[in-house]
Amino acid sequence: MRALLLGLSGLLVASSGLALADTKLQTKPTPGASETRYFTSIDGLMDGNADVILKETRQGKQVTAAILDVCYPADKTGDRKDRFVVNLAVSGQTLSGTSQSLIDKAPVTVRLTRKATGDSFEFRGQIGIGSNMTEVASTDNSDISEREFQDSQSTDDGITPQPKDFSEVSPESVGVRLKLDDLFAARAVAHELLAKLPREVFASDWTRSHANFFRAVEIEKRMMFLILGLIVLVAAINIISTLVMAVTDKQADIAILRTLGAAPRSILQIFMVQGMVMGVVGTAVGVVTGIITALNVDRIVKQIEELFAIKFLSKDVYLIPDLPSDLQANDVIWIAAVALALSFLATIYPSWRAGRVNPAEALRYE
């Protein structure tokens, strides 16, 4: 029995070793493929008081692009910090580039030479900020993968609700998120910030982050308004046909009213009032029914699904399993106004035709 247990233990260890080796082989990048690597520190830079991120894009072992991001003390006697970001040109093992600091606008020049020493890297060169020149002589620097870099980023729970200055931050935490009381003011606030902040700072809002989705929703909303307008137009045509039939049917009555002294204007007003009553009653019933349906659409859909054993929004197909409804007062007012306007326009022609009825012609065969 002991021999059997030892044999099983050996198999488990061997299988674990094979699984680990297989995992390592799977995570190993393809030879010659583009890879992003990070250096999160360069020892000794600015007396060790600077936060540094060096991002390298490599094709195999050759560096094809590099970006240096440094946050450093701007004042040796205070806590104020400044920052610069440089896109470095790659020439063999030499990385060089120019830029300027974000706050003091001081000119920045970078010239570094990197040298691989086993599993680590050595950086030597100069970084100039304004009139100050810093010598770089850093050895034993290790790089990490992009996934390791993302995993190493920590979230600071001590967020200041109203920070006084955003300059005292490291390159890992230069993003600032604003929460507004009015979410629809996000675009205007973003444009206002872009006008006041330096060119190096980029401001974005939720409408830009999901621009395609909200543009599709906006187009769909316009199309729905157009469809509703066409439906109301069909109802207005029904009003026209109803009034025309009423005028044709009541020609004798109209002729009698005319002979009793009724003016054509009075006849026109009678039929316009009749058409507007039809339009107002229909609009009121439609608005009330639409509001009740919009406020209870989730319950209505659920009852229909249970009654007919169907699913309108399947989780396997759509991102949302429910049918949301947001009742907007402006939309209701616009739809009601358009319905009333079309109803009024629909009464003009039949009423005008009723006012032009010739009493003698209408009473000839009566």
Residues 247-271 pLDDT 10s? 888 888 888 888 888 898 999 999 9
pLDDT of 59-116, one tens digit each? 888 888 899 988 888 777 666 788 888 999 998 889 999 998 888 888 999 999 988 8
Question: d(Cα 213, Cα 53) in Å, to the nearest integer?
Answer: 34
Q: Residue 341: what pLDDT?
A: 92
Question: d(Cα 167, Cα 103) in Å, to the nearest integer?
Answer: 8
Residues 266 and 342 in one domain: yes
User: For residue 239, is pLDDT > 80?
Assistant: yes
Q: Which SS3 state, helix, strand or coil, does residue 362 take?
A: helix
Within a domain: 87: yes
Q: Residue 227: what pLDDT?
A: 92
Which one of 41-50, 131-140, 172-181, 277-286 scores highest in mean pLDDT?
Answer: 277-286
User: 150, 169, 204 — which closes off a domain?
Assistant: 150
Within a domain: 179: no
pLDDT of 69-84, one tens digit each? 888 887 776 667 888 8
Residues 346 and 222 in one domain: yes
Within a domain: 306: yes
Residue positions counted in the chain: 366
Residues 144 and 219 in one domain: no
The tally of domains found in the chain comes to: 2
User: 150, 177, 199 — which closes off a domain?
Assistant: 150
Within a domain: 2: no
Question: 118: which 2 tokens?
Answer: 């086993």
What DSSP element (H or E) covers 20?
A: helix 2-27
Question: d(Cα 248, Cα 25) in Å, to the nearest integer?
Answer: 89
SS3 content of the chain, % helix, strand, coil (to 5): 50, 20, 30
Q: At what angle do helices 264-295 and 211-249 cross, to 10 degrees?
A: 140
Chain CA centroid to CA 307, Å:
37
Residues 131 and 226 in one domain: no
Residues 273 and 140 in one domain: no
Within a domain: 90: yes
Residues 245 and 132 in one domain: no
Least confident piece of the model among 118-127, 167-176, 251-260, 336-345: 167-176
User: For residue 18, is pLDDT > 50?
Assistant: no
For the chain, give the mean pLDDT.
Answer: 79
Residues 225 and 348 in one domain: yes
Instruction: Identify the domain containing residue 329 by its residue range.
Output: 212-362
Residues 282-308 have a mean pLDDT of: 90
Within a domain: 156: no
Burial class (CB in 10 A: 0-12, 13-18, 19+), 67: middle
Within a domain: 135: yes
Residues 141 and 220 in one domain: no
Residues 128 and 262 in one domain: no
The percent of residues in the chain predicted with pLDDT above 90, rounded, is 16
CA distances from 176 to 165, 196, 211, 281 (A): 11, 15, 20, 53
Residue of 162, 141, 144 lying closest to 153 (CA atoms): 144
Residues 292-321 have a mean pLDDT of: 82
CB atoms within 10 A of CB 128: 15
Q: Choose between 254 and 23: higher pLDDT.
A: 254
Q: Residue 136: what pLDDT?
A: 86
User: For residue 210, is pLDDT > 80?
Assistant: no
Task: Please give the single-letter amino acid code of residue 255.
Answer: A
Residues 180-208 have a mean pLDDT of: 81
Residues 138 and 228 in one domain: no
User: 112, 131, 150 — which closes off a domain?
Assistant: 150
HSE-CB of 37 using CA atoms within 13 angstroms:
20
Within a domain: 323: yes
Residues 356 and 219 in one domain: yes
Residues 335 and 245 in one domain: yes
The percent of residues in the chain predicted with pLDDT above 70, rounded, is 82
Residues 193-202 have a mean pLDDT of: 77
- Identify the band that residue 241 occupies on the pLDDT scale cut at 50, 70 and 90: very high
Beta bridge partners of 110: 97, 127
